[in-house]
Structure 1
Amino acid sequence: MTGPALDLDDTSRCALAESCERCGTHSDDLAVATAGTELGVYCLTLCDGCADDGRLPRRSAAATVRAVLAHCEHLDCDLDRMAATWRGEQR
């Protein structure tokens, strides 16, 4: 693949939710993070506590696919490019 390197953990164009997607906390310590799954990488909003503990929300396969595709849009890439990058990084 040609073109600039793709940073799957780039969250600069990802939206920050109003609450933690894991515990539902509404606080000032929210940040956008990324999570890697067998289906791809997706972005999500976590509070410091959930991020520090590595706790992620439970998602169905369909919800995970939707989140991965949304993150592809944020990164301006398609799923094939994400997968190729993912394999290259050996997450």
Structure 2
Amino acid sequence: MRKWQQNVKKWFVNHSEMPVDVVMDLPRITIIGQLHIYIENHKGVLSFSNEELRLSMKQGQLLVKGSGFVLKNILPEEILLEGVIKNVLFIDE
């Protein structure tokens, strides 16, 4: 059933003017240099430390590694992280 839903969503994206991230429920990630990362459409914080941020996504997890991390803004589906960003990794569950 899920594969069918994904196929319908992909068809809809290809035949409409709707943004892919909205229709497919994907995260939107904006990185400014190595200093800021702004993540929209996450499902919650799984862990946070000075060197790592792990977020739950609809499909898996997002892992951000670096140093000197500070959460500047956190909302139910948005997060702004500052620090030295070294890696951004998607993890499939």
Establish whether TM, by shorter chain, passes 0.5: no
Higher helix share: 1
Could you say which TM-score interval applies, normalised by the shorter chain? under 0.3
- Which structure has more relative contact order (CA 8 Å, sep 6+)? It is 1
TM-score by length of 1: 0.28
Whose radius of gyration is greater, 1 or 2?
2
